[in-house]
Structure 1
């Protein structure tokens, strides 16, 4: 029975230490429901356009859209869909 009492004291003391460390680290880090705010990403202009539906564009980030994948499979090249920068953009870039 002495062994049980000693073990119980040691376990409860270690549990208190662990609880204290958790509080020091911050309880928010261990709650699953807390959502972090995403950092703001700069807006990216589209670089590719579907010639069949000009409203469908792709900025070149993330997974390729289905329309582009289908066109590439049919033998076209990625550069065939590239949006040509307007002359005003070129002028702005030259000033920088």
Structure 2
């Protein structure tokens, strides 16, 4: 490449030089990124897990339901998280939470 004196160049010439530099840098960065990703894949390190630094969640035990909707027995709630709509509506109407408890036998 020729040695250029930037002070003597016109604005148009400088802009063309700028565009050439940006294009060349973008292609070199893309090539370097592809090479690094290939090396990561060879090491079998997942790229997403490396970026987010997240550990896999531990398995939680299944929680049995504690409350059942008397009008629809398929609707249950384990007592964790937000209260379901059917339960909130029943509680607003004046019923007590204990009225919806699922009675378990002693063998269970």
- Give the TM-score taking structure 2 as reference length: 0.51
Structure 1, unaligned runs of 5 or more = 1-26, 90-96
Q: Distance in 2 between matches of 1:56 and 1:50?
A: 6
Which one has a bigger Cα radius of gyration? 2
Q: For 2:105 and 2:72, how far apart are their aligned partners in 1?
A: 20
Count how many residue pairs are aligned between Structure 1 and Structure 2: 62
Instruction: From the superposition, tell whether residues 57 and 30 of structure 1 become closer, same or farther in structure 2 (CA, over 3 Å).
Output: same
Aligned counterpart, 1:56: 75
2:51 corresponding residue in structure 1: 31
Q: Aligned match of 1:73 in 83, 87, 92?
A: 92
Gaps of 5+ in 2: 1-46
Q: RCO (CA 8 Å, sep 6+): is it higher in 1 or 2? A: 1
Q: CA RMSD in A?
A: 2.3
